[in-house]
A and B are shown apart, each in its own frame.
Chain A
């Protein structure tokens, strides 16, 4: 067995394969299939200060090699999480990371301060890239001043590992990555979904209640991979690669492009066991190339 351990700032992961926020609920739903302690980490469903009902149905449209979603951060709020969900999941033996959301900087801080008190949450992922909410969300993530402002304030309120999740809906993602690094982010994760839309030609209506939504799945992988590669070159902090990862080869490509770890998202809908297959697959890959540690392939792209 090769050494699959990686580190994201102070966060020690037993392997680089984690689950993406919004695609694995609050971990319990995946634990219904297998023991989640086998995973590198789990990014929990996006959480806001108070209950959000999310967008109207329909919220989903299938696309060639992927899907559009317009969930709109439906969640019961951070207090509900702390009182009802956290006690049930806190002893899962894998890092659980809260995906922090808000409409204003104050709201991001409100959630962050509460998460800071939770012993068993070693890190937060600051979501400044949700395309499905009217206020906040992606609005912060598409300009350098916006991204800097939230990161700076949240950094002051948070002592543990701070990961900032970047939007791909920008001209130059490495510029945003550098901006948040400058404000004290410990890591960046990318990408969130791409803004897209779908129309039903027969009814001449949009397929999503919100007209536009976020595209995920294999359809976005090549673009996500390019962005991860660009960002990994631009910053010194560890990068977490996300976007259309369906199998071992996809995950290894992200690691080669410079990601220290990856998140599997939409693939879980197809098969929640895929992350376990990827963990096994990475080990086989390392053994095949006689490498002792997964760190040897991180950023190992040969030009």
Chain B
């Protein structure tokens, strides 16, 4: 296992992307180690005494030149809410880099990245780091409504970005699995990746499995430590109960015991 760090980061920006999603940019005074898509950080939300444990967040972007790391936080409960109230100039303690990353695509692969809810950040990070020409990268982002989507225009240079909304307010109406890329073209991809709500990941996995396509998902099990010592975050797999924080969060769907 690699070296891990605990250190304070300075909040440089906290941008509201919409009502519930915030982009938080953090600066480190030490040189950042290499971090890959799918890996995460565990953040101490020290603004509140009530929030005892850290909260895990996927890394969204890394700028090694300026030692900046950013995350996208979606408000879910108490901790994520507090975190989005952080101000530039404040400090946050991070444990990082944690977990295993997605399988980086091969040179000529065609990939599909499907993100929803809090699963957007790692999908965009993957698209950017894939090193593939944009025509080889399809990204489908699902949301309830247009108001829940965030502006991802700056990512269009890394791939073809498509939306689905449950109310049809933009993009294809329905779930990500109703999008024609998933419904009709699944078989053309070499690798499919998904991150978001469980139901979404299961539905995507099931389609990938039927099409016989390589598929990885990133799980968001509840975590206490984030670095493999508490055994609270386990997921049943064909290799037994594995820690999502160290053996994941990225798993190949064939290793999971999902009924798909």
Chain A residues near B (Cβ < 8 Å) = 22-25, 28-30, 32-33, 45, 51, 53-54, 57-60, 62-67, 69, 71, 74, 217-218, 268-273
Contact pattern, B 62-88, Cβ under 8 Å of A = 1, otherwise 0: 000000000000000000000000000
Q: Select A269's contact among B225, B236, B246, beta carbons within 8 Å.
A: B225
Interface size class of B (residues with CB under 8 A): 20 to 34
Q: Are A60 and B1 in contact (CB under 8 A)?
A: no
Question: Complex Cα distance A25/B229, Å?
Answer: 4
B2-10, B11-19, B187-195: which lies at the interface: B2-10
Contact A23 to B93, CB < 8 A, known contacts A269-B224, A270-B44: no
Whole-angstrom distance from the CB of A18 to the nearest CB of chain B? 14
4 closest Cβ contacts across the A-B interface? A60-B232, A25-B229, A269-B225, A32-B4
Residues in A with CB closer than 8 Å to B179 are none
Residues in B with CB closer than 8 Å to A74 are 231, 234, 241
Residues in B with CB closer than 8 Å to A59 are 231-232, 234
Contact A67 to B93, CB < 8 A, known contacts A22-B230, A54-B231, A271-B44: no
Q: Are B50 and A64 in contact (CB under 8 A)?
A: yes
Interface secondary structure of A, over-half rule: loop
Q: Are B224 and A67 in contact (CB under 8 A)?
A: yes
Q: Are A29 and B222 in contact (CB under 8 A)?
A: no
Question: Complex Cα distance A24/B228, Å?
Answer: 8
Whole-angstrom distance from the CB of B238 to the nearest CB of chain A? 13
User: Besides A270-B54, A271-B44, 12 other CB < 8 A contacts?
Assistant: A30-B229, A32-B3, A32-B4, A33-B3, A45-B229, A51-B240, A57-B233, A65-B52, A69-B224, A74-B231, A217-B52, A269-B53
Whole-angstrom distance from the CB of A210 to the nearest CB of chain B? 12
Residues in A with CB closer than 8 Å to B3 are 32-33
Residues in A with CB closer than 8 Å to B235 are 57
Question: Complex Cα distance A67/B221, Å?
Answer: 16
Closest to B241 in A: A53
Whole-angstrom distance from the CB of B27 to the nearest CB of chain A? 20
Question: Complex Cα distance A22/B2, Å?
Answer: 21
Whole-angstrom distance from the CB of A209 to the nearest CB of chain B? 11
Closest to B3 in A: A32
Task: Give the contacts of B207-239 with A (CB-CB under 8 A).
Answer: 221-236
B95 within 8 A of A: yes
Q: Select A32's contact among B2, B51, B221, beta carbons within 8 Å.
A: B2
Closest to B235 in A: A57
Task: Give the contacts of B1-55 with A (CB-CB under 8 A).
Answer: 1-6, 44, 49-54
Question: Complex Cα distance A297/B44, Å?
Answer: 33
Q: Are B229 and A29 in contact (CB under 8 A)?
A: yes
Q: Are A28 and B1 in contact (CB under 8 A)?
A: yes
Q: Select A71's contact among B223, B228, B231, beta carbons within 8 Å.
A: B231
Residues in A with CB closer than 8 Å to B53 are 62, 67, 269-270
Residues in B with CB closer than 8 Å to A65 are 49, 52
Whole-angstrom distance from the CB of A77 to the nearest CB of chain B? 12
Q: Are B230 and A33 in contact (CB under 8 A)?
A: no
Q: Are A54 and B234 in contact (CB under 8 A)?
A: yes
Task: Give the contacts of B90-136 with A (CB-CB under 8 A).
Answer: 93, 95
